[in-house]
Amino acid sequence: MSILSEPAHLVDPHAERIGETSGVRTYLARVEQSIADGRDRPWDKMYGKTGIGIMLSGWCEYRSQTGHVTGVPGTIFFGNQDEHFTGRYLGAPGIRRLAIWYDNDFLEKIADACGIDHPRFSVAALPPGKPAYGIFRDMLALIVGSGDVEYIASSLAETALLFGRESKSSPRISDRDRKRILSAVRHIDSGFFESCSVDALAAITGFSRYHFMRLFKAVTGQSANQYVIATRLRAAAVRIAETKVPVSDIAFDVGFNDISHFNTYFRAAFACSPRQLRNRYRS
């Protein structure tokens, strides 16, 4: 079978599901890696789920209803639910691949937000290169459950759905829609210390959840969650520099519920710890 769904005689019995945190499981049906023996027996199968896979080692010939490619390490493969495909490995032992299978309901919502009638990928594969690297980076983020998981899952799905289609640019924003998004921005700026969930922000604008997520990124350059975190960090940095209030109190006051998460985000944003920032301003 292909990179996305191996037949029983090719799958290592120790193939494993990885990265299934509660957050990832909400958006993805399965995340898995597996190893094949590299024998060149052909296969002819059908996908049971829609998924994205990457070849980590080995080579294969792959043909689906959307195209025909020779897969090499770094090739990204796209498979649609109920799509027939054929192929064979090209004799390389230790074939390794990583695959992400999307939950159908989630994928349908992303397609709808992108103005796509059917949540199906229009290309069979993407060769190694910068776009493929970006997809691999997002796949790894989902596997470990790091960052804004929902945004990464939806952004990855959007990117894959738009490959091979006419519209690959950011969505056009009308003045009216921009004002609606900015109403959510104003809400965050004035109430960042309280809960700012995506659902609540979408409700303010009147957009559906995933349409809101897409437009918010187009307007601000960040996902809604990233914007909330950045706003909280800026507010925290000012208070840390200007006051003697304990750092932990400041972290909770600006909206963080976990001091370790706050410290991690703060270091990533300012390249120093909160205490180091305070000491610099005191000196």
* pLDDT tens per residue, range 182-205: 999 999 999 999 999 999 999 999
Contacts (Cβ under 8 Å, ≥6 apart) of 193: 232, 235, 253, 254, 255
Each residue of 115-133: pLDDT tens digit? 888 889 999 998 887 788 8
Query: Which CA distances in Å does 243 have to 68, 114, 233, 260, 273?
Result: 63, 46, 15, 21, 16
Question: How far apart are the C-alpha atoms of 223 and 237, rounded to whole Å?
Answer: 21
Mapped to the 3 state alphabet, what secondary structure does 99-151 carry?
EEEECHHHHHHHHHHCCCCCCCCCCCEECCCHHHHHHHHHHHHHHHCCCCHHH
As a whole number of angstroms, the distance between CA 183 and CA 188 comes to 9
Burial of 268 (0-12, 13-18, 19+ CB in 10 A): exposed
Per-residue pLDDT reduced to its tens digit, 64-119: 988 888 887 888 999 999 999 888 877 666 677 888 889 888 899 999 888 888 88
Which domains, ranges and CATH numbers included, belong to the chain? 16-162 (2.60.120.10), 170-283 (1.10.10.60)
Compute the distance between CA of residue 196 and CA of residue 40 in angstroms, rounded to an integer: 53
Mean pLDDT, residues 238-245 taken together: 91
Q: Which residue matches tokens 């029983």?
A: 8
Task: Specify the pairing of strand 43-46 against strand 28-36.
Answer: unpaired
Predicted local distance difference test score (pLDDT) of residue 282: 77
Task: Select from 112, 44, 43, 53 the least CA-distant residue to 80.
Answer: 53
pLDDT, position 94: 66
| Strand boundaries in 37-121, DSSP class E | 43-46, 50-57, 60-64, 67-71, 76-79, 84-89, 95-102
Burial class (CB in 10 A: 0-12, 13-18, 19+), 171: middle
Evaluate if residue 142 carries a pLDDT over 90. no
Question: Do residues 76 and 2 make contact, with C-beta atoms less than 8 angstroms apart?
Answer: no
pLDDT-based confidence at 243, cuts 50/70/90? very high
Check whether 22 has a pLDDT greater than 50. Answer: no
Q: What's the pLDDT tens digit per position in 46-75? A: 888 899 998 887 778 888 988 888 887 888
User: Based on C-alpha coordinates, what's the Rg of the chain?
Assistant: 22
Residue with tokens 């929902």: 150
The more confidently predicted of residues 154 and 172 is 154
